[in-house]
Structure 1
Amino acid sequence: MTESIEGLQSRLDDLEDRVDALEDEKSDLEDTVQAQAEMIASQRERLDEYEETLSVSSDHRKHLQQRVHALEDSEDSDETSQSKSPLQQLISLPSKAVSKLTANQERARFIAKDIHEYAKKVPAGYAIDSGTIRKVLKAKEDRTPHTQTVSRVMDFLNQLKKEDVQVVKRRGTKRAVFTERAVSELGSTSSPGGITDVVMRWR
Structure 2
Amino acid sequence: MTTLQLADIESVETTENSDILTQLVTELSDLRERVSDLETENQQLRSELADERQQRGQSDASIRQEVTDLRDELADERQQRGQSDASIRQEVTALTETLEQGSGDDTPTAESETTGSVPPQTPLEQVVSLDEEMAESELTANQQRARFVARDFRQYATSVPAGLSMESGDIRRVLRAGTDTKGRTATVSRVMDFLDDLGGDGTRVVKRRGSRRIVADESLVARLETAVTGESRTDNTVVMSRAG
Q: TM-score normalised by the shorter chain: which range applies?
A: 0.5 to 0.7
Higher RCO (CA < 8 A, seq sep 6+): 1
Of 207, 211, 220, 1:173 maps to 211
CA deviations over 1:66-123 (Å, ceiling 9, x no partner): xxxxxxxx99852359920211110010222111211100000000000010000000
Note if 1:159 corresponds to 2:197: yes
* Structure 2 stretches lacking a partner, 5+ long: 1-101, 110-117, 231-244
TM-fit CA distance, 1:145: 1.6
Of 104, 120, 123, 1:86 maps to 123
Note if 1:108 corresponds to 2:166: no
Q: Distance in 1 between matches of 2:173 and 2:207?
A: 18
Q: 1:172 to 1:94 in 2, by over 3 A?
A: same
Q: Distance in 1 between matches of 2:210 and 2:200?
A: 22
TM-fit CA distance, 1:162: 2.3
TM-score, scaled to structure 1 = 0.53
Note if 1:188 corresponds to 2:226: yes
Q: Distance in 2 between matches of 1:174 and 1:93?
A: 28
RMSD, aligned CA: 2.7
| Identity over aligned pairs, percent | 45
Q: Distance in 1 between matches of 2:181 and 2:136?
A: 21
> Which residue number in structure 2 is paired with residue 20 of structure 1?
none
Q: Give secondary structure in 2 for the equivalent of 1:174.
A: strand
Q: Distance in 1 between matches of 2:209 and 2:171?
A: 17
> Which residue number in structure 2 is paired with residue 99 of structure 1?
136
Q: Give secondary structure in 2 for the equivalent of 1:168.
A: strand
CA deviations over 1:35-93 (Å, ceiling 9, x no partner): xxxxxxxxxxxxxxxxxxxxxxxxxxxxxxxxxxxxxxx99852359920211110010
Query: Radius of gyration: which is bigger?
Result: 1
Q: Distance in 2 between matches of 1:89 and 1:155?
A: 17
Q: How many residues align?
A: 119
